Structure 1
Amino acid sequence: MNQADVRPVVTRGGALDDRTGQSGDCVRRSGVSPQHTPATKIWFGQVSNEPGFRSPPHHHGEAETGGYVLRGHGRIYFGEELKEYVDLYEGDFVFVPPHMVHVEVNMSITEPLFWLTCRTPDNIVVNLDDVPDTALEGYRRP
């Protein structure tokens, strides 16, 4: 490709694309992705959970995932029978390794959770059978 033909591609805030892998009540919207930019090795987008909402158990295949909490209190359950977890607050970053089964939760029952997620090579989402809410220590719905 001729260097003169290469230009930055801007995705405006109101034009995020939800035609990407999803997990239940955890909503992903692409900002930079193969769905609507020339990107071929990265997925970068906004993830949100309404108050008390969560994803089902899932993993992201071979993709490495980085997350950054913009607003709210999130929790990621992982490990055997999803008994382990890490809490995330505004300004926190998290790395989720490839193939790690996890559940993403908004721990607030009154405020939404917003985070940015970057994944390589793409937004791979492999949803698994759900678990009852009671399997997730400390989780509650509104």
Structure 2
Amino acid sequence: MSGHDHDHPHDHSHDHPADHSHDDAERWKHDGVRVIPGDQLDSNVPSTAGMDRKAAINFARVGAQKLWAGTVTIKPDAKTGAHHHGHLESIIYVVKGKARMRWGDALQFTAEAGPGDFIFIPPYVPHQEINASPDELLECVLVRSDGQAVAINLDIEPAEKVETVLWIDPTHPDGGVTK
């Protein structure tokens, strides 16, 4: 019998790759790349009058450990109070409308962004988000470097007065309004 094994040393190994590749195929099929269709975003999230937030990528939906991503739609003239997001990095991609950002110790710096533009907000930067259009919705994709909600409201007079319509998302749970 041992002589037989020596004559055909590779026979046994042919069965294993098939078994492993089947397991791998199942694992990759369900745990590999995930596509979240735009019409299947999770709207079961905190919201408020005048805006609509939906989660696409988070821990609950896809097991994301280090990212949150979703969409935010903000009514015309909506403005937040001064705040920052602690250690989180944020990226805002403008899909439609006109966003105005203000930042700095006195919110003295400003920049506007339109469709196709990306906005990067580093950790701990005091800022204010504004829908700069009086009559057009601002539609954005929002990505953060962690799924946790961090919003530290700052005692800085907003450069542009806060409106009653607030910007709500995971890290503006109360609209970013200074208490």
TM exceeding 0.5: yes
Q: TM-score per shorter chain, which class? A: 0.7 to 0.9
Partner letter of residue 40 of structure 1?
Q
Partner letter of residue 136 of structure 1?
E
Partner letter of residue 61 of structure 1?
G
Residue 176 of structure 2 corresponds to residue 124 of structure 1: no
User: 1:17 Cα shift?
Assistant: 2.8
Aligned residues: 138
> CA separation of 1:119/1:102 partners in 2, compared to 1, >3 Å: closer, same or farther?
same
Q: TM-score, normalised by structure 2?
A: 0.63
Given that 2:53 and 2:73 are in contact with CA atoms closer than 8 Å, whether structure 1 keeps it comes out as yes
RMSD: 3.1
Structure exhibiting the larger radius of gyration computed from Cα positions = 2
**Aligned position for 1:55:** 80
Partner letter of residue 53 of structure 1?
A
* Higher-strand-fraction structure: 1
The within-5 A match list for 1:98-109 is 98-109=123-134
Partner letter of residue 87 of structure 1?
E
> CA separation of 1:56/1:71 partners in 2, compared to 1, >3 Å: closer, same or farther?
same
Q: TM-score, normalised by structure 1?
A: 0.77
Q: Share of identical aligned residues, percent?
A: 28
**Aligned position for 1:136:** 160
Structure 2: state its 5+ residue gaps. 1-22, 165-179
Higher relative contact order (CA 8 A, sep 6+): 1
> CA separation of 1:96/1:129 partners in 2, compared to 1, >3 Å: closer, same or farther?
closer
Q: Equivalent residue of 1:55, what SS?
A: coil
* Higher-helix-fraction structure: 2
